[in-house]
Amino acid sequence: MAGIYIHIPFCRQKCYYCDFYKTVNTSLKQKFLTLLNEEAKVRKNYLENETVETIYFGGGTPSVLTTEELDNILWNIDANYSISPDAEITFEANPDDLTPEYLNGIKSTGVNRLSIGIQAFQNEHLKKMNRRHDATQAEEVVRKAVETGFNNISVDLIYGLPGLTDEQWKESLQRVFQLPVEHLSAYHLTYHEGTPFFTWLKKGTLKELSENESVKQFNILVEMAEQAGFEQYEISNFARDALYSRHNSSYWLGKKYLGLGPSAHSYNLLSRRWNVSHVESYVRGLEAGSDYFEEEILSNKDHYNEYILTRIRTKWGVLLSDIRQNFGTEFYDYLLKQVAKYKKSGLVLLSEGKLLLTKEGLFVSDEIMGDLMII
């Protein structure tokens, strides 16, 4: 079982907080699409003919693609890989792109899961982030998507935004839980170097929420999600009726995946590989048959660290039997020694051979992970 991630590196405009690789210059779009198909062909053996269970279009903004362009990418993937008949095909989209015609078009290509970037339900915050849609539009689009026949919809929200009050955060969550959506990804704002938000923070023109305020918003999220019947299956991900993101879950459960397009990462259980984060270099590399990626062969220690990093924040947790079997007694003993430090902290839970973070532990997961990993 494997997954394919496809990075569409174009955006109509840049959001002020975002550090994903993207460009607003679409002059190379046609060339990019041709070479994306070429990359999919050239790398057809990467997954060693394993059945592809999930395909994920991320970016950038996949909804800058026309329906025909999307169809062409999927057709080429289908021609080169063994795709499961019930594969999850997720398409990230911005609300302003999802017209009724476009929704119909993408539905006809076989996309069966939408991930809609709503981010907030207050127009003042949407403007501050430089988003192109407004709150009403976001709600209308979700309802239209359901009318079109989509029955697996995820929305993204951001909390910890500068000036976001608890009341506004509660309002956003309420509005999401009233919508016919099955999944919520809610991320705390990160100030990434190189983004306008980071610059404004450094200049003091933008004020970061305090740690206490952030923890409070995280707790509001967890409580309201639970009340609405959404299960927290990963620190930032919540699902109704076990409709987890199969694609992201496969990352967390250590499955193989192939990443196509600039900045996309791939993993084949032995090595990790990442494409250059630059459309021009990507296109040039593929045209010339020269390298457009870097690769790292993973050591036993890397695999152990990766396992801790991906599993500890999920409901599946770290299985001690996996650690002993896959990484040996040295790593197993190290982990138990590190976990012992947290025995009375109430931050981790070790039960029936499974290590999990508690609700309190989830918020300081980076610190705990750092302690459990081997540097």
Site for ligand SF4, rule CB under 6 A: 11, 14-15, 18, 20, 22, 59-61, 94, 117
**Residue number with CB closer to ligand SF4 (60 or 261):** 60
CB of 248 to ligand SF4, least distance (A): 17
**Residue number with CB closer to ligand SF4 (8 or 206):** 8
CB of 277 to ligand SF4, least distance (A): 13
CB of 260 to ligand SF4, least distance (A): 17
CB of 199 to ligand SF4, least distance (A): 15
How much of the chain is in helix, strand and coil states, percent to nearest 5? Answer: 45, 20, 35
Buried/exposed code over 296-317 (b: 16+ C-beta within 10 A; e: otherwise) = eebeeeebbbebbbbbbbbebb
CB of 109 to ligand SF4, least distance (A): 21
How far is it, in rounded angstroms, from Cα 80 to Cα 44?
6
**Residue number with CB closer to ligand SF4 (167 or 193):** 193
Instruction: Burial-class residue 35 by CB neighbours within 10 Å (0-12, 13-18, 19+).
Output: buried
Strand partners, 115: 92, 154
| DSSP code for 371 | H
How far is it, in rounded angstroms, from Cα 358 to Cα 352?
15
Q: What is the DSSP string of 183-212?
A: EEEEEE----TTSHHHHHHHHTSS-PPPHH
**Residue number with CB closer to ligand SF4 (106 or 222):** 106
Which run of H or of E encompasses 318?
strand 318-319
Q: For residue 56, what are its two tokens?
A: 């994920």
CB of 22 to ligand SF4, least distance (A): 5
CB of 40 to ligand SF4, least distance (A): 22
Q: Which residue is nearest to ligand SF4 (CB)?
A: 18
How far is it, in rounded angstroms, from Cα 79 to Cα 75?
6
Q: How far apart are the first and last CA of the chain?
A: 30
R_g of the chain, CA atoms, integer Å: 21
Residue 104 CB neighbour total at 10 angstroms: 13
**Residue number with CB closer to ligand SF4 (132 or 303):** 132
**Residue number with CB closer to ligand SF4 (158 or 335):** 158
**Residue number with CB closer to ligand SF4 (232 or 237):** 237
**Residue number with CB closer to ligand SF4 (59 or 285):** 59
CB of 129 to ligand SF4, least distance (A): 8
| DSSP code for 63 | G
CB of 59 to ligand SF4, least distance (A): 5
Give, in order, the Cα–Cα distances in Å from 79 to each of 32, 39, 82, 256. Answer: 19, 13, 8, 20
Residue 249 CB neighbour total at 10 angstroms: 20
**Residue number with CB closer to ligand SF4 (59 or 105):** 59
